[in-house]
Amino acid sequence: MSDTKNITHPFPPLYDENSRTLILGSFPSVKSREAMFFYGHPQNRFWKLIAALYGEDVPSTIEEKSSLVLRNRLALWDSIHSCTITGSSDSSVRDVVPNDISGIIRNSKIERIFCNGALSHKMYMKFFFRPQESRRESCHRPARQTPRTRLSGSPGSGAL
């Protein structure tokens, strides 16, 4: 029996009016969908990395994770609203409907968008990036800062 399903993203983005950096994933894993929160698999290094970057303790609860994100003016969201997927496999994703990131951009102070992985970057470039609106070149690699209109300075990079 296959676990291929058409799934709609089950939980909302995490951001507030002070968020300045959007970390854009692709689609929640099975464990994240079960937890109803971002990066829910216990072996995922995301929370350890974010805590290390900001010199904080690794959060364990959803409340602690949310607080870490918002305290450091981050935002979390995924590029895919719904798709057909087998388990948690990014390589199985098809029938993609993108998420709308415009509300996050409009209701926060987002200056940078980082894609957390190859699929996230591919979806960002396909559905969200508009070269005519940006003064920056795309890095065309996953886990790098993506182009945004309001960015200034030299391109940054970061591997999540």
Answer whether residue 155 is part of any domain: no
Could you list the residue range(s) of the whole structural domain that residue 139 is in? 4-146
d(CA 53, CA 33): 25
Say whether 44 is catalytic.
yes
**What DSSP designation does 155 have?**
P
Confidence band (pLDDT; 50, 70, 90) for 142?
very low
Residue-level pLDDT at 129: 85
| Residue type for position 96 | V
Domains: count for the chain: 1
Q: Tell me how far the alpha carbon of residue 146 is from its chain's centroid.
A: 12
Answer whether residue 157 is part of any domain: no
pTM of the model: 0.81
Answer whether residue 154 is part of any domain: no
Answer whether residue 125 is part of any domain: yes
How is residue 93 written in tokens? 């994703």
Answer whether residue 51 is part of any domain: yes
**Which candidate in 44, 72, 107, 116 is catalytic?**
44
Residues contacting 26, CB < 8 A, separation 6+: 78, 79, 80, 90, 93, 116, 117, 119, 120, 123
Answer whether residue 76 is part of any domain: yes
Tens-place pLDDT, residues 143-157: 444 444 333 332 333
